[in-house]
Amino acid sequence: MHRNLGVFTSREVPLWKLFAQWQGKATGYTKGRDRSFHFGTQSHKIVGMISHLGPQLGVANGIALAEKLQESSKLAVVFTGEGGTSEGDFHEALNVASVWKLPVIFIIENNGYALSTPTEEQYACKQLSDRAKGYGMESRQLDGNNVVEVYSKLKSLFKDVRRRPRPVLVECMTFRMRGHEEASGTKYVPEKLMKKWEKKDPLVNFERFLKEEGLLNSKKSEKIRAEIAAEIDENWSKAIAQPEATFSEAEEIQDVYAPHRPEPVYANGGSSTLRLIDAVSDGLRHAMRRFNDLVIMGQDIAEYGGVFKVTEGFIEEFGKGRVRNTPICESTIVSAGMGLSISGMKAVVEMQFGDFVSSGFNPIVNYLAKTHYRWGQAADVVVRMPCGAGVGAGPFHSQTNEAWFTKTPGLKVVYPAFPYDAKGLLISSIEDPNPVLFFEHKKLYRSISEAVPDDYYNLPLGKARLVRKGDRMTLVTYGAGVHWALEVLEQHPELQIDLVDLRTLVPLDMDSIEESVRKTGKLLIVQEDSLFGGLASEIAAQIGERCFQHLDAPIKRLGSLDTPIPFAKSLEAGYLPQNRLKQALLDLYHF
């Protein structure tokens, strides 16, 4: 929901706590971290929104999916304004809800203006409820100012949807007699229109109706008003007396992530030689067996097994309810993963290619990343990201775009280079109740093999791996960069180099990097991503601050060119830093 005060009060959310939230008090639902009524509360079954509006519709889909899978006979209701229906997430959400036959009611509060933009400048269809036809959905249009009509018809509709789960679009025709928010005013509204809707005031007309029906008289009405006024005054006084939000750096940092104390699980028994792609698949399969509430979603992942065949054979073991093909709509599927988490389930979302995550960027960086910090709700979602160049896939199927996410507080970013790490780190990512971007390099999928335990096991996030030991220089990298470095070191076994594989980019194991640099005095950081603004720059800056007096040479960074990724083999080879690594390493080593 988006600031829906009427629903908050009808759900009996304590009025003083609403006031405290509104005033940014420490006892508000967001501890002063978000404004107005931008919050959620599980105890009242109210789900917090974000100001981008659209993703909340997909979140409702995820909650409805959880109810459907659990056969609960419950449903989700989500509100949007007529302006919000222009966002792509609205159309994605309706499409997914219709295809999956989800028990969700989409309510459009059509009040004629998106802030100050009138409906004729927002859409050309006659009624927004007509849009349901394009998605094979039922729709209703209600007089949103008629209390009896809204109550009776929605009550009947909810009962029917519980009996026969399906999505329904409801358009409530209403109006705002005040501004979108207090600062905007209503000068943009013609006076004639204001007078027209003033006659349709739902409270005035409902009071008149109750009196006509003999259910209310003036004396009782005055008593109710007095009681409400007293309740407001009492709760306002209580809210004002609440403590102001006070800054604590430790608490602010602590609340970015949901608490998680992982218990190490060590492998017992035998092992098998697996490629990296097999290890990812094996880890995902083990997690599906361990967590019965885990759902995986993605394009072509069911019968087809995904374009890289990671989930091949999964529907035979886990069924189509938990292994779900999705329409091409990354944004609402990420949001649906958030909805599953709100319902106490786990979600893994596969991006067909990591590049396509840009279509789901908003809910990842604005919803998943910020939800726990804002109102204490975990976002138990893993987004799998097949990524990387070296396979001639061109500008839209080759990016390694981890820097888009390492900058965003609230996300964790994992990037394994070896099959053993891929399985253990994927399991840990799924165990973790926080949102994780899990990068899987396509070039490594079928080119790297090693012994991987057959059992379920996990590996700690935030701990780098020392692949080679030496005391003359430190080389820090991750993903394909680890294997580029190993190739150079095989050609030059005389080089005494600490080769550090980061494995996890957020949280970043700066302690291991610092320990190595203090020993060697030299540092080269290699990333496949284009150089400017990447993780290498952050590591270089931190080491410069921490270890300046221990350095025997300038810190060096090596990355791809600051261009899009080209398709032709020769151009791609020139783009990547792989062919420049040997010289860069030797130059710094002999500095």
pLDDT, tens only, 277-289: 999 999 999 999 9
Q: Are 174 and 150 in contact (CB under 8 A)?
A: no
Give phi and psi for 119, each to the nearest 5: -60, -35
d(CA 281, CA 199) in angstroms, rounded, equals: 63
Q: How far are the Cα atoms of 92, 245, 251, 508 from residue 248, in angstroms, in the given order?
A: 40, 9, 5, 23
Torsional sign, CA 219, 221, 223, 225: negative
With 70 as the cut, is the pLDDT of residue 581 above it? yes
At residue 115, the pLDDT reads: 87
Give the DSSP H/E element, type plus range, for residue 110. Answer: strand 104-110
d(CA 198, CA 210) in angstroms, rounded, equals: 19
Q: What angle do helix axes 218-240 and 15-22 make, rounded to 10 degrees?
A: 50
Q: What is the pLDDT of residues 247-264, one digit of tens each?
A: 999 999 999 999 999 999
Alpha-carbon 303 to chain mean position: 26
Both structure tokens of 177: 């007699």
Q: Are 479 and 400 in contact (CB under 8 A)?
A: yes
Q: Are 456 and 286 in contact (CB under 8 A)?
A: yes
Q: What number is the average pLDDT over the span 510-537?
A: 97
The CB density around residue 490, as the number of other CB atoms within 10 Å, is: 8
Q: What is the Cβ-side half-sphere exposure of residue 553, based on CA atoms within 13 angstroms?
A: 20
Q: Count Cβ atoms within 10 A of the Cβ of residue 181 and give its class: 0-12 exposed, 13-18 middle, 19 or more buried.
A: exposed
Residues annotated as part of the active site: 397
- Cis peptide bond N-terminal to 507, omega within 30: yes
Per-residue pLDDT band at 497 (split at 50, 70, 90):
very high
With 90 as the cut, is the pLDDT of residue 2 above it? no
Q: What angle do helix axes 88-100 and 55-69 make, rounded to 10 degrees?
A: 10
At residue 24, the pLDDT reads: 94
Per-residue pLDDT band at 36 (split at 50, 70, 90):
confident
At residue 6, the pLDDT reads: 83
d(CA 420, CA 345) in angstroms, rounded, equals: 27
At residue 500, the pLDDT reads: 98
At residue 91, the pLDDT reads: 96
Q: What number is the average pLDDT over the span 396-417?
A: 97
Q: What number is the average pLDDT over the span 113-132?
A: 92
With 70 as the cut, is the pLDDT of residue 169 above it? yes
Give the DSSP H/E element, type plus range, for residue 178. Answer: none
Q: What is the dihedral of CA 50, 135, 170, 155, to 10 degrees?
A: -110
Partner residues linked to 323 by β-bridges: 296
d(CA 342, CA 63) in angstroms, rounded, equals: 7
Both structure tokens of 178: 């005040």
Rg (CA), the chain: 28
With 90 as the cut, is the pLDDT of residue 182 above it? no
Three-state secondary structure call for residue 560: strand
Three-state secondary structure call for residue 554: coil
DSSP string, 508-577: T-HHHHHHHHHHHS-EEEEEEEESTTSHHHHHHHHHHHHHGGG-SS--EEEEE-SSPPPSSHHHHHHHSS
Q: How far are the Cα atoms of 217, 363, 587 from residue 486, in angstroms, in the given order?
A: 86, 38, 17
Per-residue pLDDT band at 92 (split at 50, 70, 90):
very high
Give phi and psi for 290, each to the nearest 5: -75, -40
Q: Are 56 and 106 in contact (CB under 8 A)?
A: no
Question: Which three-class secondary structure string do you get for 442-454?
Answer: HHHHCCCEEEEEC
Three-state secondary structure call for residue 68: helix
At residue 37, the pLDDT reads: 81
Number of residues assigned to the chain: 591
At residue 316, the pLDDT reads: 97
536: which residues sit within 8 A by CB, 6+ positions away?
Answer: 525, 526, 527, 557, 558, 559
d(CA 324, CA 306) in angstroms, rounded, equals: 11
At residue 448, the pLDDT reads: 97
Torsional sign, CA 227, 231, 232, 233: positive
Both structure tokens of 203: 């409270």
Domains in the chain with CATH codes = 5-247 (3.40.50.970), 271-453 (3.40.50.970), 465-589 (3.40.50.920)
Q: How far are the Cα atoms of 39, 69, 323, 434 from residue 286, in angstroms, in the given order?
A: 35, 20, 14, 19
Do β-strands 497-501 and 465-468 pair in parallel, antiparallel, or remain unpaired?
antiparallel
At residue 412, the pLDDT reads: 98
At residue 21, the pLDDT reads: 93
Both structure tokens of 375: 């109102």
d(CA 264, CA 282) in angstroms, rounded, equals: 18
d(CA 591, CA 587) in angstroms, rounded, equals: 6
6 vs 408, more confident: 408
For the ranges 38-42, 92-96, 222-226, the lowest mean pLDDT is seen at 38-42
With 90 as the cut, is the pLDDT of residue 49 above it? no
Q: Are 390 and 570 in contact (CB under 8 A)?
A: no
Terminal CA-to-CA distance of the chain, rounded, Å?
60
DSSP letter assigned to residue 122:
T
For the ranges 84-93, 181-190, 322-331, the lowest mean pLDDT is seen at 181-190
Partner residues linked to 414 by β-bridges: 438, 504
Q: What number is the average pLDDT over the span 270-275?
A: 97
Q: What is the pLDDT of residues 133-149, one digit of tens each?
A: 999 999 999 999 999 99
Q: What is the Cβ-side half-sphere exposure of residue 143, based on CA atoms within 13 angstroms?
A: 12
Q: What number is the average pLDDT over the span 322-350?
A: 97
Per-residue pLDDT band at 51 (split at 50, 70, 90):
confident
d(CA 489, CA 477) in angstroms, rounded, equals: 14
With 80 as the cut, is the pLDDT of residue 586 above it? yes
With 70 as the cut, is the pLDDT of residue 11 above it? yes
Per-residue pLDDT band at 38 (split at 50, 70, 90):
confident
d(CA 545, CA 450) in angstroms, rounded, equals: 38
At residue 52, the pLDDT reads: 86
Long-range contacts of 183-187 (CB under 8 A, 24+ apart): 184/115, 184/116
Per-residue pLDDT band at 398 (split at 50, 70, 90):
very high
Alpha-carbon 441 to chain mean position: 21
Per-residue pLDDT band at 466 (split at 50, 70, 90):
very high
Look up the pTM and report it: 0.95
Give phi and psi for 414, each to the nearest 5: -120, 140
With 80 as the cut, is the pLDDT of residue 3 above it? no
Q: Are 102 and 139 in contact (CB under 8 A)?
A: no
Q: What number is the average pLDDT over the span 309-317?
A: 97
Both structure tokens of 252: 């602010």
Both structure tokens of 201: 């005031």
